[in-house]
Chain A
Amino acid sequence: MKFLNNYSNRELNIWAELILDIIVSIYFFPKIFPLIIDGQLYSDALVGIIATSIIISIFYSVFVFGAINTLTKKEEKDERDYIYELKSYRISNIISQVSIYLLIYLIVFNPINQVRLTDFTAPMIAMLLLIIALLSSTGKSLSQIFNYRKSI
C-alpha cells in the first residue's frame, strides 16, 4: 500500500475512473464489433452487453472507490482542484455536446434523406449513449491527470 502515498486521494480517484473506462472499453468494444460485422446489432445480445457493462461499472465503483476512500485520507478541495476540475469538465462537455449533436443529426436526417445507415432502436441508442459517456469520461479523466501531473 506504499504506492498509495505517492498520490493524493483525489488523484487516485481520477486514476480509478480512467481504469474503469478502460475496463468497460475492453469488455464492450470487442463484443460490439462482431455484432456490427454480423449485422446482429438489433439482437438481444446487444442489450446483454450494455447491461453487463453497467453492472461491471457499478461493482467496480462500489469496491474500488470504496477501497480508495477507506485507505487514503480524504482532502478538502482547494482552488487548484477546482480549476483543474473545471478544465476537465469543459473538455468532457465539448465531447458530449459534439457527440450528441452528431447523434441528433443522424436520427433526424436519416429518414429525411432516406439513407438507412441503421435503424435507431432503443438498444442501439443506449449503445451510442454509452459510447458517448465513455468518451466524455475518458476525456475528463485524461485532462485531469494531465493537469495534475504537469504541475508536479
Chain B
Amino acid sequence: MTQAELAEKASVTRQTIIALEAQKYSPSLELAFRIANVFDVPLEEAFQYK
C-alpha cells in the first residue's frame, strides 16, 4: 500500500503519514484506531509506545 493510499483510507494528508513513519508525529487515539482499522490489525500491533 502506498502512502497516498493509506492517507486516503485514514482520511489524513500524505504528509501526516510521512511524519508518522518518520516517528516525528504522534497521532491522536482516533487516528491510531483508523490506521489500525485500515490494516485490519489490533491497535497494539500497529503502534507501539517506546
Interface residues of A, Cβ cutoff 8 Å to B: 8, 10-11, 75-76, 78-81, 148, 150-152
Closest CB in chain B relative to A85 CB, distance in Å: 13
Is B46 in the interface zone, CB < 8 Å from A? Answer: no
Which residues of B have CB within 8 Å of A81?
Answer: 13
Q: Which 9 A-B pairs have the closest CB atoms?
A: A78-B12, A151-B24, A151-B19, A80-B16, A151-B25, A75-B13, A78-B13, A8-B15, A78-B16
Q: Count chain B residues whose beta carbon lies closer than 8 angstroms to a beta carbon of A.
A: 15
Interface residues of B, Cβ cutoff 8 Å to A: 11-16, 18-19, 22, 24-25, 27-28, 30-31
> How many A-B pairs with Cβ below 8 Å?
37
Could you show 25 A-B contacts with beta carbons less than 8 Å apart? A8-B13, A8-B15, A10-B13, A11-B15, A76-B11, A76-B13, A78-B11, A78-B12, A78-B16, A78-B31, A79-B12, A79-B16, A80-B12, A80-B13, A80-B15, A80-B16, A80-B19, A80-B25, A148-B15, A151-B19, A151-B22, A151-B24, A151-B25, A152-B18, A152-B24
Identity of the chain A residue whose Cβ is nearest the Cβ of B19 in the assembled complex: A151
15 more A-B contacts (CB under 8 A) besides A76-B11, A78-B11, A151-B24? A8-B13, A8-B14, A8-B15, A75-B13, A78-B12, A78-B13, A78-B16, A78-B31, A80-B13, A148-B15, A150-B24, A151-B19, A151-B25, A152-B15, A152-B18
